[in-house]
């Protein structure tokens, strides 16, 4: 399996740091509003990367944070007259709803920045002790020039950055600009302003800078050195560049072995912006399309290629997805109503032929997770199934083809059988109850509530008792 590494600007063979295990960190959203379709692309892309790594047998520790303290969150809280915590909790809950709609697997850990402040203070102390950071009037800055490798991810030359800064081409300024030793130094900790949430620190009552948050959460939930760090290409500079500088200076080891970045999403060939009136949230899209269509659309292009969003392309994705789902339903019908008995010799040969599509699919995914070509392999399998399966086929043959289709679709996060079709299945209900129990155990109460609400919407009522959760039909 080869991955395009932004650090080397080349495709590299993926070799994990620890055999059989993958440590993967993906930058999550800042939760001050409903997520938009630009946020959805990295969520879908890297969920698919994770699924494929798991398909290949890796144990993936997948960490994706929520940035729950930020200027935008504070601004929203002030506008509504509520606390920043109320805003972040509300939109984390809404984000998880959208993620479930896009069939994005919950991360191994979804850390919250506000719960990791102590770790951030500790890392800042380490950076100060090592001479990489300094304090001025309650603000702590990182000495960018002290880190020799600065610019290695973005391929930016620090002297050019300084010139650009003088020309105001790169907006790296913060309040207290004149206190910095160097214009390129960035903030690790900043004092509070009136009405802002704050935490105690050795330097001031304040809050962390954005960049230090991910460095600390990655270290705590994964390791000093991780396999894959991923996110949108807009994060390469300065966010990911600053993460590298902080982490490698503090920990003394390389931060991430592979860096993966998805390209931008445009709307009708224009950059998405509220001022142009072409800004869409995932919730907006859900009013017109099943979010499975959005997922399928996102995977229809290679993740490193710019992707253009339009109604025509969404309709095309909808039709493509329906072809696959319809084929799946047809195969399930044959499994139920086909002939009993063993696979015939002719069917055995056809099953061997069907397995060739697995090879095509894997070749595509092994080539830097080329989901567009992987989808082409799925379409070929669908064509094969439609041509070779009929009411005269054996149930076993149909089941063998369905197993292949389901396995490949699962990697892409395509749901072949809608939950409402399965809701009469008691095994399914019990599975969802077990997932809810695990969510409660993990203190992910938002997810637990979501599962309960989803079952309720399908006419399944849950009642928590001393003996466990009981269910009944409404």
CB 204 within 8 A of CB 191: yes
Residues 6+ apart with CB under 8 A from 389: 330, 331, 334, 397, 398, 401
CATH label of the domain that carries residue 346: 1.20.120.640
Same domain for 60 and 160, yes or no, is yes
In the chain (474 residues long), the average pLDDT of successive 10-residue segments reads 98 98 97 96 98 98 96 94 96 96 96 97 98 98 97 93 54 57 96 94 97 98 98 97 98 98 92 80 95 98 96 96 96 94 96 98 98 98 97 96 98 86 70 88 85 80 84 76
Q: Does residue 228 form part of some domain?
A: yes
CATH label of the domain that carries residue 11: 3.40.50.620
Q: What is the DSSP letter of 109?
A: B
Same domain for 82 and 164, yes or no, is yes
Q: Rounded to an integer, what distance in angstroms lies between the CA atom of residue 472 and that of residue 474? A: 6
Same domain for 97 and 226, yes or no, is yes
What is the longest distance spanned by two Cα atoms in the chain? 82
The rounded radius of gyration (Å) of the Cα atoms in the chain is 25
Same domain for 343 and 221, yes or no, is no
Q: Does residue 458 form part of some domain?
A: yes
Q: What is the dihedral of CA 388, 392, 397, 399, to 10 degrees?
A: 100
**Count of other CB atoms within 10 angstroms of residue 134:** 18
SS3 call for 133: strand
The pLDDT assigned to 441 comes to: 85
Give 85-93's long-range contacts (Cβ < 8 A, gap of 24+).
85/114, 85/197, 87/31, 87/32, 88/31, 88/32, 88/112, 88/114, 91/31, 91/32, 91/33, 91/34, 92/31, 92/66, 92/68, 92/446, 93/446, 93/449, 93/450
Last residue of a domain, one of 381, 396, 417: 417
Q: Domain total for the chain?
A: 3
State yes or no: cis peptide before 238, omega within 30 of 0.
yes
Whether the pTM exceeds 0.85: the reply is yes
Q: What domain range includes position 434? A: 426-473
The pLDDT assigned to 167 comes to: 46
Q: Does residue 280 form part of some domain?
A: no
Phi-psi region of 235 (alpha: psi -120 to 50; beta: other; left: phi over 0): alpha
Q: What is the dihedral of CA 370, 374, 379, 384, to 10 degrees?
A: 150
Same domain for 333 and 447, yes or no, is no
């Amino acid at each position: 399996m080869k991955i395009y590494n932004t650090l080397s600007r080349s495709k590299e063979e993926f070799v994990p740091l620890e055999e059989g295990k993958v440590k993967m960190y993906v930058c999550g959203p800042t939760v001050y509003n409903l997520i938009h379709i630009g946020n959805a692309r990295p969520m879908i892309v890297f969920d698919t990367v994770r699924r494929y790594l798991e398909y290949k047998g890796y144990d993936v520790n997948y960490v994706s944070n929520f940035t729950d303290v930020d200027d935008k969150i504070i601004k929203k809280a002030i506008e509504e007259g509520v606390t920043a915590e109320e805003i972040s909790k509300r939109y984390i809950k809404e984000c998880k709803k959208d993620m479930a709609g896009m069939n994005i697997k919950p991360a191994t850990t979804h850390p919250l920045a506000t719960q990791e402040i102590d770790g951030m203070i500790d890392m800042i102390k380490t950076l100060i002790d090592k001479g990489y950071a300094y304090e001025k009037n309650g603000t702590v800055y990182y000495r960018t020039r002290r880190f020799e490798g600065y610019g290695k991810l973005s391929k930016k030359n620090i002297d050019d950055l300084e010139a650009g800064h003088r020309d105001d081409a790169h907006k790296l300024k913060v309040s207290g600009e004149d206190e910095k030793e160097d214009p390129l130094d960035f903030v690790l900790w900043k004092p509070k302003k009136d009405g802002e949430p704050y935490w105690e620190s050795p330097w001031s009552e304040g809050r962390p800078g954005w960049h230090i948050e991910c460095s600390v959460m990655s270290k705590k939930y994964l390791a000093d050195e991780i396999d894959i760090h991923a996110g949108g290409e807009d994060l390469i500079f300065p966010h990911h560049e600053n993460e590298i500088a902080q982490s490698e200076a503090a920990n003394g080891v390389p931060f991430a072995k592979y860096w993966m970045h998805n390209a931008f999403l445009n709307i009708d060939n224009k950059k998405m912006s509220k001022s142009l009136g072409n800004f869409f949230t995932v919730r907006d899209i859900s009013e017109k399309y099943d979010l499975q269509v959005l997922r399928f659309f996102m995977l229809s292009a290679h993740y490193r290629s710019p992707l253009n969003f339009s109604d025509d392309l969404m309709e095309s994705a909808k039709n493509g997805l329906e072809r696959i789902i319809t084929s799946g339903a047809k195969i399930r019908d044959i499994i139920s109503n086909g002939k009993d008995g063993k696979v015939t010799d002719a069917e055995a040969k056809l099953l061997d032929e069907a397995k060739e599509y697995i090879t095509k699919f894997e070749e595509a995914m092994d080539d830097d997770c080329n989901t567009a070509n992987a989808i082409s392999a799925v379409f070929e399998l669908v064509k094969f199934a439609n041509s070779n399966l009929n009411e005269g086929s054996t149930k076993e043959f149909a089941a063998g083809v369905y197993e292949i289709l389901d396995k490949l679709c699962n990697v892409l996060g395509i749901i072949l059988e809608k939950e409402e079709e399965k809701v009469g299945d008691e095994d399914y209900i019990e599975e969802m109850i077990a997932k809810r129990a695990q969510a409660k155990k993990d203190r992910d109460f938002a997810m637990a509530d979501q599962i309960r609400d989803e079952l309720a919407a399908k006419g399944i009522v849950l009642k928590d008792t001393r003996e466990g959760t009981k269910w009944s039909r409404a």
